Structure 1
Amino acid sequence: MLENTATSKLAPETELSPQQKKLTQQALTFCAEHLASQQPGVFVIKGAAGTGKSVVLSALMATLQQARTAAQSPFYQTNNYLLVNHPEMLKTYKQIAADQPNLRKKDFMKPTPFINQMAKQATTADIVLVDEAHLLLTKSDRYNRFNQENQLTEICNHSRIVILVFDEHQVLKMKSYWNQTKLMALLAKRSYKIVQLDQQFRVHANSATQHWLTALGTKGQLLPRPADSTFDLRIFADASQMYQQLRHRDHEFGLSRLVATADFPYKLDGQTYYVIAPSFKLPWDKNMDPNITWAERPETLNEVGSIYTIQGFDLNYVAVILGPSVTYDPTAQRLKLLPDNYQDHEAFKRRADLTEPQAWQAKQQIILNSINVLLQRGRYGLYLYATDPQLRAKLLTL
């Protein structure tokens, strides 16, 4: 079924799959047991893009907030929050809260205001859910008014139980640089449980196509393009032609958007900046509406979205422009990533705890992660164009 909104999956009434229902019950049991024993705990939900991590988290929040009014419930009168660093996702959760009697907008926050509020009040939350935990800061950040060293550590310090969703292949900035080792070092100090979601719900494609997307987005591998009657996967030699095809899809089915890697200049100074390719020029997203997400506004069909406006959302069709930082290594027959060409300089801010080789590797991983995020947005189709001539030629031969 084609989606009318990019966020409908997060509504509390969304039907969960058997795997999601089982995981939700595991999380509720974990919370009840740890509240009863007064033992702090962390419940980690892992899974790739599109496996329904946020869907489970939204369902959990709705269940907890309804149960907090039932005297016989283990969650009676608990003080619970859902946190997310992604501003577009926060809009979505607040929209949902406005329409649900058991949800309150004030229970949905960004991590730093939550941390500062708990510290100022010298209080502890009962259960804190963290969406997109791979976006949590792992170093201080004056711009975000976070003065400590790790947001997840601080959230745990101010919570009895933390439930978080995590995918290391969606880390997008050095200041929120996570890997499995860093996560496990933090969990080792607490009682924890890790569960995995592995069923793909967003991309309606056969297993060969899903493998093709995963190999490209997580390993940079260029595999032969599979035949798939259920998913419209196309490679384009011309960005303008790709955009016109996307406009047709939007006219037919709605919720079709163009996105690009952060390889084209952009500043938060109120000016208009463009994504440019031969015979193609469109402005970057401006994200001017404080209440409606970028993907759901009709006029954004005339803009180019970024990882920061589209991460976590579903589209019916997505067209992706791979910019100058994404090239091709003919010897290794895989993507070659060039951090010096990446224009999101904020993403690459130096950190003292990483050596130069480690930092260079982290930058390449961030670029690859951004590609992975973009590739996994479309439910029914992906259109792909590369600005690098050698990569474009290789893609067209697959």
Structure 2
Amino acid sequence: MTASDIAVLDFTAASLGRFAEIEPRTVNWPVVYVIDDEEAGRAYVGETLNTSGRMRQHLRTRGALLRRVRLIIDETFNKSVCLDLESQLIAWLNADQKYQLLNSNAGIVGAQYYDRISYQETFKKIFAQLREDGLFEQSLEDLENSEIFKLSPFKALNADQTRVVLRVVEDLFHDVENSVSETVIVRGEPGTGKTVLGVYLIKLLRDIIDGTDFDGERESLFATFLSNEYQTILGMGFRIGLVVPQQALRRSLQRVFESTPGLAPEMVLSPFDVGKADVGWDLLVVDEAHRLGRRSNQSSGVQNRAFSEINQKLLGDDDQRHTQLDWIVAQSTHRVLLLDPEQSVRPADLSARVQRSLVRDARDTDRFHPLTTQMRVAAGSDYVGFVRSVLRGERPSPPDLGDYDLRLFDDLGGMHAAIKRMDRRFGLARLVAGFAWEWKSKKDRGAVDIALDGIELQWNRTDKDWITSPGAVDQVGSIHTVQGYDLNYAGVIIGPDLKLDPDSRQIVFSRADYHDKKGKQNLPKLGVVLTDDDILRYVTNVYSVLLTRGIRGTYVYVVDPLLREHLARTLPFRSDA
């Protein structure tokens, strides 16, 4: 065989034996393989140093399920390369949805190794060969832009995420064995991968409970948990749920769970689902836990009544201080909260005081685990911290953003045209904005919501799955459609709700220009009356979220001339903008 060849064989002892006679690298050589049954729609991906021995093992355990094997043998591969390619193929196959994977996710690694960038190009060529041979249906670009790929439990974790998942799993097994009920806090800025971590954790635990891949040949810190010992600790009836306060993200995750072996869409819950349930959970993982609600006017009378009824049912009274977090605690034995206080965007979100208390208590019980490695924005974690500092009115030194495409536009039409170019080239390029314009088109589909610089735009036509919906590139998404998601390019419109005060030279909030009714609503039942400075914190949080969605780049248009001038001097925009 030559470098990067792929042998396609019947998955039988005879076929594999004949191949071993002519290919000496079936013993003591790193190989990646895919075994599948196209008619049944099942596949398994693995890597091994002893192909002959491993295939004999698979024939005993999977011979009745799978019919064909592809052996990827490359004379330049080593163990690290094979582990990486195995992880990539698992993630791609899961996103492609042609096959149901029989793998667990415990062996998926994201380790660095020598010349990894070059090998990533080799992997793309291998993908093209496999797609031509019929293993994949979708293009690589479509796969990697899909929500199933981005939110997949088969994504390789980085070292930071691996450390945290390991600690959380160890905490959980300790607490289950010792009948201890604690709350674990995982705190991380935008792009540190909190959602992916939560989904990975739930899949790993379900694989332990179900006995998935207990016979696997794995190189992973989590491999030791795939055993009868840990399966017995949890027990077959161990009940797990993922709580997602935001409707848009919840719908996306329900589709991911529906397509993932061992998971089910019913496992993805709203806080109201948790509160109304008659049976509790052994473990609840709460994504974007800062968005859990406290007592306020809900979006409908039905939810207002439900809030009161749930309080009565679970907590014995309708004390106005009860929050959806109290429902989570009442309905679960163990909890993992994925949290970032600086992504609270409405007054009805968990209060800063409650979030500080959660972090303090978790530190005291050694259940606080920070995520620090930036995975989304190519400019790195310095960019996220810098954006937040600037919006707080500070004047930090600008970081080196490398090749990150950060641009300031003085014409909205020009920014929209640039976003459409990037969407044609890379996909997932969208306009987003603060809630500084009324949503007129919600009731009148022909109405214009945003009219600036001679162009007219509408808000997102749907508040569910907007990012991937038809025509999204010509609409403007709000915070409620993009929080928790990745974009390749984000075109951020900073509306007149933020201005620069000409006297103090500070960023200030304009209540008259802010149209998120729930975003500026007082909480009379709690005695909370919001000042402009109070709301300013939520609005700047909104913009910090919007400005940290873009993986490859962020384009910015600012309505207020003074603020535009201020940001032009403060943010390290590209000089050719």
TM-score, length basis structure 2: 0.63
Q: Is 2:420 aligned against 1:243?
A: no
CA distance in 2, matches of 1:332, 1:214: 19
CA distance in 1, matches of 2:516, 2:508: 18
Q: Is 2:238 aligned against 1:63?
A: no
- The aligned counterpart of 2:262 is 102
- The aligned counterpart of 1:215 is 389
8 Å CA contact 2:296–2:523 kept in 1: the answer is no
CA distance in 1, matches of 2:367, 2:192: 19
The CA deviation at 1:296 is 1.9
- The aligned counterpart of 2:551 is 379
CA distance in 1, matches of 2:179, 2:414: 60
| Structure 1: 5+ residue stretches without partners | none
- The aligned counterpart of 2:111 is none
Q: Is 2:366 aligned against 1:366?
A: no
Q: Which moved more, 1:375-384 or 1:29-38?
A: 29-38
SS at match of 1:146: helix
Q: 8, 20, 29: which is aligned to 2:161?
A: 20
SS at match of 2:234: coil
- The aligned counterpart of 2:281 is 125
For 1:261-340, what aligned pairs fall within 5 Å after superposition?
A: 261-266=434-439, 269-272=442-445, 273-287=448-462, 293-330=465-502, 332-340=504-512
What one-letter code is carried by the residue in structure 1 that aligns with 2:460?
D
Q: CA 1:91 to 1:269, structure 2 compared with 1: closer, same or farther past 3 Å?
A: same
8 Å CA contact 2:441–2:459 kept in 1: the answer is no
Q: Is 2:291 aligned against 1:150?
A: no
- The aligned counterpart of 1:194 is 368
The CA deviation at 1:210 is 4.2
CA distance in 2, matches of 1:200, 1:246: 23
Q: CA 1:206 to 1:167, structure 2 compared with 1: closer, same or farther past 3 Å?
A: closer
Q: Is 2:425 aligned against 1:252?
A: yes
**Per-residue Cα deviation, 1:182-207 (whole angstroms, up to 9, x for no partner):** 12445778867111111111110156
| Higher gyration radius (CA) | 2
The CA deviation at 1:388 is 0.9
| Structure 2: 5+ residue stretches without partners | 1-119, 121-140, 212-227, 312-321, 571-577
What one-letter code is carried by the residue in structure 2 that aligns with 1:41?
E
CA distance in 2, matches of 1:226, 1:37: 47
Counting matched residue pairs gives: 388
Q: 500, 523, 528: which is aligned to 1:351?
A: 523
What one-letter code is carried by the residue in structure 2 that aligns with 1:204?
A
Q: CA 1:47 to 1:354, structure 2 compared with 1: closer, same or farther past 3 Å?
A: farther
Q: Is 2:340 aligned against 1:182?
A: no
Q: Which moved more, 1:61-70 or 1:152-161?
A: 61-70
- The aligned counterpart of 2:83 is none
CA distance in 2, matches of 1:354, 1:383: 40
8 Å CA contact 1:44–1:192 kept in 2: the answer is no
Q: Which moved more, 1:375-384 or 1:203-212?
A: 203-212
The CA deviation at 1:222 is 5.6
8 Å CA contact 1:127–1:162 kept in 2: the answer is yes
For 1:26-45, what aligned pairs fall within 5 Å after superposition?
A: 26-45=167-186
The CA deviation at 1:395 is 2.7
Q: CA 1:195 to 1:332, structure 2 compared with 1: closer, same or farther past 3 Å?
A: farther
The CA deviation at 1:253 is 1.1
The CA deviation at 1:276 is 2.2
The CA deviation at 1:91 is 1.5
What one-letter code is carried by the residue in structure 1 that aligns with 2:389?
A
CA distance in 1, matches of 2:151, 2:372: 18
Q: CA 1:227 to 1:24, structure 2 compared with 1: closer, same or farther past 3 Å?
A: closer
Identity %: 25
Higher RCO (Cα < 8 Å, 6 or more apart)? 1
Q: 321, 332, 335: which is aligned to 1:159?
A: 332
8 Å CA contact 2:151–2:196 kept in 1: the answer is yes
The CA deviation at 1:100 is 1.2
Q: 231, 235, 257: which is aligned to 1:76?
A: 235
The CA deviation at 1:44 is 0.5
The CA deviation at 1:308 is 0.4
CA distance in 2, matches of 1:244, 1:256: 11
**Per-residue Cα deviation, 1:300-343 (whole angstroms, up to 9, x for no partner):** 00100000000010001000001111111355544222233211
8 Å CA contact 1:7–1:313 kept in 2: the answer is no
- The aligned counterpart of 1:396 is 568
**Per-residue Cα deviation, 1:24-73 (whole angstroms, up to 9, x for no partner):** 01111111111112121100010111111111101001111222224531
TM-score, length basis structure 1: 0.90
- The aligned counterpart of 2:251 is 91
What one-letter code is carried by the residue in structure 2 that aligns with 1:132?
E
SS at match of 1:233: strand
